[in-house]
Structure 1
Amino acid sequence: MDRPRAVAALRAEVAGFARRHMSGQRRWCVALSGGADSLALTAVAAGILPTTALIVDHGLQPGSAAVAETAREQAVTLGCADARVLTVAVGTAGGPEAAARTARYDALSAAHGDAPVLLAHTLDDQAETVLLGLGRGSGPRSIAGMRVCDPPWFRPLLGVRRAATVAACAELGLQPWVDPHNADPRYTRSRLRTEVLPLLEDVLAGGVAGALARTAAALQDDNDTLDAQADAALGDVTTGVGLDTARLAMLPAAIRRRVIRAWLLAGGARGLTDTQIQGVDALVSAWRGQGGVAVGSELTRQRLIAGRRDGILTLRREPV
């Protein structure tokens, strides 16, 4: 009997992705929420390589444990070699969406071992991510969206529309979980999904999601090239105590800001925003004797301050 068309197309997409990006891989994990995207991905992945399903229970909604257990049972039925529920505590930093994402990735990072993790982000998710970056003015790195391969994370469905995963689940007789947060107008991404993107598709006569995804891919290529140049320049401007501002000032702005970003990350900065990087860059490009710039970090009871002294950018810790 012929395999149903939607499932066959999805399986071919994932198998082709594995050949291109994961040659020689003998097993993998799939991050499974129970929704249509991750459920369809789990179904086809389990038929290609031994698969471990990792289900994160955020505990944010009544009945979340039952949803996670249902997803685990579905994974076993679909042929996964293993299926585990990971229970997490979600904090508050960055707002509910960011905090949940941080808790989820931390749990997946701790559980996957040395196996790669397949994430079920689709082309529609990529389009939403690009729009979020545009709206927040977060710079080209944010507008470039999610990477196809960012080990240990791999996204084989970034070229697939969400409708294809829904169709695959229907063909397989699977009942996906529908996250009520996806239609909750309190969440920015849900409004982009249900209001903004449909309006743009209507106004611009279709093709918007695909165009946004292509824009992201093009920007990723540009970013990779500029990042490589910045890595080479970082050694030239580094001194024993910081970065030489005179040498930094001679670099093109796009390279200079990437050098600053890499230096900050190496010094312990985390969750950097484009505004913070621009602020540190102003200590070089628009120096008027201004004070230091606080940057994000994971320090407890301390903060990181990037400042300028005697022509050198320095990074210091201060108590909060």
Structure 2
Amino acid sequence: MHSLEKIIYRLLHREIAETLISRVLVGVSGGPDSMALLHILAAMRPHCSLTLVAAYIDHGLRPGETPAEWACVRAAAADLQLDCTMVTVDAAAVAIAGKFSPEQAAREVRYRAFADLVHARQLDLVAVAHTADDQSEEVLLRLLRGGGRRALSGMRYRSGTLIRPLLGIRKAELMAYLAEKDIHFCHDSSNDDMRFLRNRIRHELLPLLEERYDSGIRRALLKTAANLGEDEDLLERLLAGSWEETVVIETPDMEGEPVCRLDRSRFRALHPALQRRLIEKLLWTMGTTTRYEHVMAVLAAGREGRPGSELHLSQGLRIEVSREQVLFSYPLGKGPWRGSLKEY
């Protein structure tokens, strides 16, 4: 095995050992990072029970480049004797319908397509090609957007069924690997589009910080993410215990929507950091957004809300405050309705 392949093999064995006996969907765009990932994982097959399926997602955003990228992915899969599939999605329509940026919409439809493929093909995991460079950019991006501890801990090697084997590898190492192996790849023109904040961070802000402020800024960002990630693991364990003691989720009603009850006395006894995280998880459980202002409003309701008061959140989520509890429900189902519960 190549030295880089050995590094990734040992990392997967240490971080997520069961990955090496899995059926894995590999997201491959045709770009350098994902092409390197595909070849690295394919090189591991003689040493473990690893079944790979290459998946190319056509977002419908760059029709002029899609044929060459798909041909590149298909040729690589054929050379490696791997199954290969393409899924076409409409990211532009999702962006308009959900009022998302094109970048956010593309991510939404891509991961939705991955989940559908995993289910349809009875696979175990999805591998994507985020690198150490992507991690440092992501941490800085989240910092600029005002992210908290969880956000600044960056991406994880594993998030549910999603794995990121290259998260500790610099892009320069991957480019050297591709050159040595003579592996063909494509260039995604959207990575040069300076309308996207991530590209401005990659091409302008990070180089400026390296040149004018600290040449080790990328290492510092990675270290910050790693340290905060360890803190996050501990807080998640503490949250699990607090959740069991504080929240009751009732059987979904006829509309299929959950009803959650928050015990106020136990909630008030928690540390503020756990209170905030519990509210975030509760809103996720209810299937609504976790915007900062929403979280803070619910926190205030749980801490000192007046019995009989209500909060009206998005999609018809209503929050009723009583002396002993805070009730989260969709009394009229999900929808953009307004007004007090007392009016119905």
| Same fold per superposition (TM over 0.5) | yes
1:86 maps to 2:87: yes
Counterpart of 1:212 in structure 2 is 221
Distance 1:139 1:11, change over 3 A: same
Amino acid paired to 1:258 = R
1:196 maps to 2:205: yes
Tell me how far apart the structure 2 counterparts of residues 193 and 34 of structure 1 sit (CA, whole Å).
Answer: 20
C-alpha displacement at 1:57, in angstroms? 0.8
Tell me how far apart the structure 2 counterparts of residues 26 and 252 of structure 1 sit (CA, whole Å).
Answer: 40
How many equivalent residue pairs?
307
Percent of residue pairs identical: 32
Give the one of 292, 295, 298 matched to 1:280.
298
Amino acid paired to 2:275 = R
Counterpart of 1:299 in structure 2 is none
Amino acid paired to 1:305 = R
Alignment gaps of 5+ in structure 1: 296-301
1:291-306 maps to which residues of 2 (within 5 A)?
291-295=310-314, 302-306=315-319
C-alpha displacement at 1:211, in angstroms? 1.5
Counterpart of 2:245 in structure 1 is 236
Counterpart of 2:230 in structure 1 is 221
Equivalent residue of 1:46, what SS? Answer: helix
Counterpart of 1:99 in structure 2 is 105
Deviations 1:233-274 (A, max 9, x none): 1232235761122321121001111222222222233x4234
Amino acid paired to 2:43 = G
**Higher deviation after alignment, 36-45 or 199-208:** 199-208
Equivalent residue of 2:313, what SS? Answer: strand
Contact 2:124/2:161, CA 8 A, preserved across alignment: yes
Contact 1:72/1:85, CA 8 A, preserved across alignment: no
Structure 2 length normalisation: TM-score? 0.82
Give the one of 35, 44, 54 matched to 2:31.
35
Distance 1:205 1:258, change over 3 A: closer
1:101-250 maps to which residues of 2 (within 5 A)?
101-112=107-118, 113-238=122-247, 242-250=261-269
Deviations 1:96-149 (A, max 9, x none): 111110100000111123232211100110111111111111211111111111
Amino acid paired to 1:259 = L
Equivalent residue of 1:306, what SS? Answer: strand
Structure 1 length normalisation: TM-score? 0.88
Tell me how far apart the structure 1 counterparts of residues 306 and 194 of structure 2 sit (CA, whole Å).
Answer: 44
**Higher deviation after alignment, 10-19 or 66-75:** 66-75
RMSD, matched Cα: 2.2
Tell me how far apart the structure 2 counterparts of residues 182 and 257 of structure 1 sit (CA, whole Å).
Answer: 35
